[in-house]
Structure 1
Amino acid sequence: MYELRGVTKRYTRGKETVHALDGVDLTIPDGDRLVIQGPTGGGKSTLLQMLGALDRPTSGEVVLDGTDLAGLPEAKLTRVRSENIGFVFQSFNLIPTLTAQENVETALVPLGVKPGERRERAAEALRSVGLGERLGHLPGELSGGQQQRVAIARALVKQPKVLLADEPTGNLDESTRDEIMDVLERLWNEHGLTFVMVTHDSAIARKAPRLATIRKGRITVTEKTGA
């Protein structure tokens, strides 16, 4: 479970101080599916970076399973990210010279998984997202939707507790967007993940059981009965 307590993040931009997050309090239970919406510059991606231990708050606590991420040394933070948190981004972030299977394997290297097991687990992860016939393809030989499926497989191959997605359908057409959301929702159900997603897409937000709206660094959470 995540507990954010009084989380503030300030940036200096020239002579201006930007309050990206302004005293955010938020609880995200295990197995939750939370969608975050809000205007550009409102703090959505900053909040996701805090949840993913990619950045530290200026003040406040980001607690995951009883551990304050903000207080951990960098080496331990890296371990938390490697073991417990999967990331999916709008831009896929695949290595163009590696095959789909090799891209997925990269998530297991920091965990010390042996090569044979890496290959087996990567292949299984790709099969789980419908790419069992594309293991040897390079990213340039795959469609945008297929590349995002590879990115999802890479995020989940290490069996994380948390999946964080930053605009994962932002570069996709409407039909492919729906396919990717179906994959993400199925995997969320199958693996019991805590799933937090940032999106500008109102069609996705309407289907979320919990919706967090963030504006000027302040957050409001709406529970949707029956969603």
Structure 2
Amino acid sequence: MYRLTGVTKRYRRGDETVDALSGVDLVIEGGSQLVIQGPAGGGKTTLLQMLGGLDRPTEGSVELDGTDLARLPEPRLTRIRSESIGFVFRTVNLIPALTALENVETALVPLGLAAAQRRQQAAEALESVGLAEHRDGLPGELSGGQRQRVAVARALVKRPKVLLADEPTGDLDEDARDEVMSLLEGLWRAHGLTFVVVTHDSAIARRAPRLATVRKGRVAVRERGPAR
């Protein structure tokens, strides 16, 4: 479970101080799904970065299962990110010279697993996203939707508790978008993940059981009922 209390993030922009987030209080139950929407520059990505331990608040606490990510020393925070939090971004950032299987394996290297175990887990992750037959394909040989599926497998191969997605379908056409979102939602249910996704896409927001709107650093949450 996440519990954010009084989270404020300030940036300097020239001579001006800007509050990207302002006094945010938010609870995300373990195993739940939250979709975050809002205008550009409103604080959506900053909020996701706080949840992922990619940035620290200027004020307030960001607790994951009772541990305040904002107060951890960097080595311990890095370990939590490596073990417990999977990330999917709009830009998939696959390594062009590595196969799909090898790209997925890269997420396991920081965990110190043996090569055979890394390869087995990576193969299972690719199978879970429907890409077992493309394990030896290079990113340039895959479609946009397939590349995003590899990125999803890479995020899930370490068997995290949390999956954070920042505009994961932003570069996909409508059909590929629906396929990737259906995949992510199916994996969320199957693995009991805490799943948080940032999107500008109203079609994705309409699917959400819980919707957080971020405007000018403030967060408002609406319950929408079960996801379809």
Q: Which residue is equivalent to 1:92?
A: 92
Residue type at the aligned position of 2:198: V
In the alignment, residue 189 of structure 2 is paired with which amino acid?
Answer: N
Distance, in Å, in 2 between the alignment partners of 1:99 and 1:8 is: 41
Tell me which residue corresponds to 2:72: 72
Would you say the 8 A contact 2:98–2:138 is kept in 1?
A: yes
1:184 aligns with 2:184: yes
Q: Distance in 1 between matches of 2:19 and 2:118?
A: 42
Q: Name the residue aligned to 1:47.
A: 47
Q: How far did residue 91 of structure 1 move?
A: 0.4
- How far is the alpha carbon of 1:225 from its aligned partner? 2.9
- Mapped to 2, the partners of 1:67 and 1:130 lie a distance apart of 35
Structure 1: 4+ residue segments shifted above 3 A: none
- For residues 13 and 139 of structure 1, the distance between their equivalents in structure 2, rounded to whole angstroms, comes to 37
Distance (Å, rounded) in 2 between the aligned partners of 1:178 and 1:144: 13
Residues 93-121 of structure 1: per-residue CA shift (max 9 Å, x gap): 11111110000000111011100011111
- Structure 1 stretches lacking a partner, 5+ long: none
Measure, in 2, the Cα distance between the counterparts of 1:7 and 1:225. Answer: 27
2: CA distance, partners of 1:33 / 1:222 = 12
Alpha-carbon displacement from aligned partner over 1:120-170 (angstroms, at most 9, x marks no partner): 110110011010001111111111000000000000000000000000000
Cα RMSD after superposing both structures: 0.6
CA distance 1:82–1:218, change in 2 (3 Å) = same
Q: Identify the residue that residue 198 of structure 1 maps to in structure 2.
A: 198
Question: In the TM superposition, what is the alpha-carbon distance from 1:77 to its structure 2 partner?
Answer: 0.5
TM-score by length of structure 1 reads 0.99
- CA offset at residue 226 of structure 1? 4.3
User: Which residue number corresponds to residue 166 of structure 1?
Assistant: 166
Residue matched to 1:138: 138
CA distance in 1, matches of 2:138, 2:22: 42
Distance 2:70 2:186 in 1: 31
- Determine the structure 2 residue equivalent to 1:109: 109
Aligned to 2:7: 7
Structure 1 residue 224: deviation in Å?
1.3
- What is the letter of the counterpart of residue 132 of structure 1? A
Deviations 1:155-202 (A, max 9, x none): 000000000000000000000000001100110010000000000000
Name the amino acid aligned to 2:40.
T
**Whole-angstrom CA distance in 1 between matches of 2:45 and 2:177:** 20
Unaligned runs of 5+ in 2: none
Partner AA of 1:136 in structure 2: D
Tell whether 2:38 aligns with 1:32: no
Mapped to 2, the partners of 1:226 and 1:83 lie a distance apart of 29
Q: Partner letter of residue 30 of structure 1?
A: G
Partners of 1:187 and 1:120 lie apart in 2 by 19
CA distance in 2: counterparts of 1:113 and 1:191, whole angstroms:
21
Aligned length: 227
